[in-house]
């Protein structure tokens, strides 16, 4: 009889549970098989073997100051810390669910003294036992599927943390570039104000000698005050950028941030391998997160279906008892047996639970498809921007050169008495606007390189 129960117990625990969860099938990617249909990538892209996701971020961000700033953010950012803690919580949850697949064994020991009120009779009772309080045989995969849900939830949480890391790196770099941009604009405004003050002094002296008019003085004052207004505005923007960067990095003050004084001193890896959409989509953690969520939704269906089937649990006890501690293990007894629970009526709760699980899976499919399409759109947008920003920056710098010539000629003509100062004022404002435009387009070009690296899944690889 003992052997029969033992055989039943071991056989049941080793049985493979019925597969009630739907077989996982990856949704078809609703994107183009290549980027060539969106933009002209040139002939060299197909020869690349290393993907952007395989390039360490320190190889991409080549300026030492920018590397230091990103390292500070990865060490101190509070959102990233929260994401890491969420991973630990999800891992612990998975461990809990996984443990439900194995029987629990408890040990207990008791020692009692019993007697009457007169104290004439005293009885000693010692007990010790091992017990399996309740172990569910997972014939229909309910516990296994719940464990799969927890596992995929953990993997999705880990992928979310990886996605946050990539976003954080690009956000830090973009914020740093915005700060350097406003610092460069501030320096330009200061230089412009200094030049306009010199022009004002020159025209004031000319007026004192009767060579200039009050209109000339009024016009140059416009240039002076405009430059002063720009300087104050960019000074405020620089301070706001510093405050935002301090919060993003999780540092105490801006003095901990090493700064560059112009965009031209910031070096990024410009030749980023593109690869095929299928390669990119396999590497992006946000798509992995959506896929793990979809897998978990399928496992939830299996768990919900298992609720319609009987639950079989085993309980057992192996124990010893004696009135004398020395004779405790001389003899003992055991109990072992299964119990069955078959759902008959629960007002449609199991059916409703299954319907919810099916709808959740449909929602997960839709979310996965949307994530894939968004990823493809992001890469295509950055590639399209890359195609034009380089040419735009070159054209803007030519515009700066042309407006500089116009300003120099207007100033010379004014000094020779050929033109009035209004033409100088117009040329000076055009030059200042063109210079600001060149700085801004340069920033956009650098940000485009960073964003392209990000949307291709770059940022997670570590230098070996």
Confidence band for 311, pLDDT divided at 50, 70 and 90: low
Q: What is the pTM of this model?
A: 0.72
What per-residue confidence (pLDDT) applies to 46?
43
Task: Give the chain's count of helices (H) and strands (E).
Answer: 10, 4
167 vs 81, residue with greater confidence: 167
SS3 (DSSP) at 123: strand
Q: Are 385 and 445 spatial neighbours (Cβ–Cβ below 8 Å)?
A: no
281 vs 441, residue with greater confidence: 441
pLDDT tens column, 410-427: 888 888 878 777 788 888
Confidence band for 304, pLDDT divided at 50, 70 and 90: low
Confidence band for 18, pLDDT divided at 50, 70 and 90: low
What per-residue confidence (pLDDT) applies to 20?
63
DSSP string, 392-460: HHHHHHHHHHHHHHHHHHHHHHHHTTSS-HHHHHHHHHHHHHHHHHHHHHHHHHHHHHHHHHHHTTTT-
Q: Among residues 179, 293, 283, 175, which one has the least CA distance to residue 234?
A: 179
Q: Is the pLDDT of residue 286 over 80?
A: yes
Confidence band for 44, pLDDT divided at 50, 70 and 90: very low
What per-residue confidence (pLDDT) applies to 450?
92
Lookup: tokens for 459 = 């940022």
Query: What backbone torsions phi and psi does residue 133 show, to the nearest 5 degrees?
Result: -65, -45
Mean pLDDT of the chain: 74
What per-residue confidence (pLDDT) applies to 434?
94
Confidence band for 431, pLDDT divided at 50, 70 and 90: very high
* Stretch 52-61: mean pLDDT: 88
Q: CA-to-CA distance for 269 and 382, rounded, in angstroms?
A: 15
Q: Is the pLDDT of residue 272 over 70?
A: yes
What per-residue confidence (pLDDT) applies to 150?
67
Q: CA-to-CA distance for 204 and 221, rounded, in angstroms?
A: 10
What per-residue confidence (pLDDT) applies to 394?
94
Q: Is the pLDDT of residue 59 over 80?
A: yes
Q: Is the pLDDT of residue 464 over 80?
A: no
Buried b (16+ CB within 10 A) or exposed e, 312-347: bebebbbebebeeeeebeeeeeeebeeeeeeeeeee
* Stretch 323-335: mean pLDDT: 55
Q: Is the pLDDT of residue 54 over 80?
A: yes
Q: CA-to-CA distance for 216 and 205, rounded, in angstroms?
A: 12
400 vs 158, residue with greater confidence: 400
Q: Is the pLDDT of residue 104 over 50?
A: yes
What per-residue confidence (pLDDT) applies to 230?
92
Lookup: tokens for 201 = 């002094």
Confidence band for 391, pLDDT divided at 50, 70 and 90: very high
SS3 (DSSP) at 195: helix
Q: CA-to-CA distance for 386 and 222, rounded, in angstroms?
A: 38
Provide the percentage of residues in the chain whose pLDDT is more than 90. 17
DSSP string, 3-39: HHHHHHHHHHHHSPPP--SPPP-PPPP-S-SSSTTTS
Give the domains, in start order, of the chain with CATH numbers: 12-100+139-308+352-455 (1.20.1600.10), 102-137+314-342 (2.20.200.10)
What per-residue confidence (pLDDT) applies to 130?
53
Q: Is the pLDDT of residue 360 over 80?
A: no
Range with the poorest average pLDDT among 54-68, 143-157, 262-276, 322-336: 322-336
What per-residue confidence (pLDDT) applies to 124?
62
Q: CA-to-CA distance for 98 and 95, rounded, in angstroms?
A: 5
What per-residue confidence (pLDDT) applies to 17?
47
What per-residue confidence (pLDDT) applies to 112?
64
296 vs 426, residue with greater confidence: 426
* Stretch 5-10: mean pLDDT: 45
Q: Are 285 and 457 spatial neighbours (Cβ–Cβ below 8 Å)?
A: yes
Buried b (16+ CB within 10 A) or exposed e, 127-161: ebbebbeebbbbbbbbbbbbbbbbbbbbbbbbbbb
114 vs 449, residue with greater confidence: 449
* Stretch 2-20: mean pLDDT: 48
pLDDT tens column, 164-214: 888 888 888 999 999 999 999 999 999 989 988 888 887 888 777 777 778
């Amino acid at each position: 009889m003992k052997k029969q129960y033992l055989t039943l117990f071991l056989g049941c625990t080793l049985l493979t549970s019925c597969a009630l969860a739907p077989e996982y099938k990856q949704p078809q990617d609703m994107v183009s098989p290549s980027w060539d249909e969106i933009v002209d990538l040139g002939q060299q892209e197909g020869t690349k073997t290393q993907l952007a996701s395989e390039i360490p971020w320190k190889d991409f961000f080549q300026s030492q100051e920018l590397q230091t700033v990103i390292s500070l953010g990865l060490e101190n950012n509070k959102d990233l810390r929260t994401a890491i803690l969420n991973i630990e919580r999800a891992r612990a949850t998975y461990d809990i669910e996984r443990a439900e697949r194995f029987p629990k064994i408890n040990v207990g020991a008791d020692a009692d003294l019993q007697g009457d009120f007169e104290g004439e009779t005293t009885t000693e009772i010692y007990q010790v036992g091992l017990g399996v309080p309740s172990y569910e045989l997972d014939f229909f995969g309910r516990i296994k599927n719940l464990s799969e849900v927890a596992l995929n939830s953990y993997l999705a949480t880990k992928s979310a943390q990886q996605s946050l890391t990539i976003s954080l790196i690009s956000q830090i770099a973009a914020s740093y570039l915005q700060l350097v941009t406003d610092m460069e604009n501030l320096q330009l405004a200061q230089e412009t104000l200094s030049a306009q003050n010199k022009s004002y002094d020159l025209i004031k002296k000319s007026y004192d000698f009767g060579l200039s008019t009050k209109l000339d003085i009024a016009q140059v004052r416009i240039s002076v005050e405009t430059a002063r207004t720009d300087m104050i505005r960019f000074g405020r923007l620089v301070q706001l950028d510093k405050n935002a960067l301090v919060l993003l990095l999780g540092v105490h003050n801006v003095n901990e941030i090493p700064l560059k004084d112009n965009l031209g001193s910031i070096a990024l890896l410009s030749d980023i391998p593109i690869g095929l959409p299928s390669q990119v989509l396999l590497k992006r953690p946000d798509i992995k997160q959506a896929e793990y969520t979809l897998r978990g939704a399928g496992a939830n269906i299996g768990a919900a279906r298992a609720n319609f089937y009987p639950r079989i649990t085993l309980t057992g006890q192996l124990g010893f008892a004696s009135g004398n501690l020395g004779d405790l293990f001389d003899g003992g007894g055991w109990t072992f047996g299964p119990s069955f629970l078959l759902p008959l009526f629960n007002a449609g709760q199991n059916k409703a639970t299954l319907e919810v699980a099916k709808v959740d899976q449909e929602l997960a499919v839709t979310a996965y498809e949307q994530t894939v399409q968004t990823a493809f759109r992001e890469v295509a947008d950055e590639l399209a921007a890359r195609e034009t920003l380089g040419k735009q920056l070159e054209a803007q710098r030519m515009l700066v050169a042309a407006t500089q010539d116009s300003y120099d000629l207007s100033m010379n003509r004014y000094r020779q008495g050929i033109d009035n100062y209004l033409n100088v004022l117009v040329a000076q404002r055009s030059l200042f606007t063109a210079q600001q435009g060149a700085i801004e387009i340069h920033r956009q070009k650098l940000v485009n390189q960073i964003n392209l690296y990000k949307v291709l899944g770059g940022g997670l690889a570590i230098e070996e």
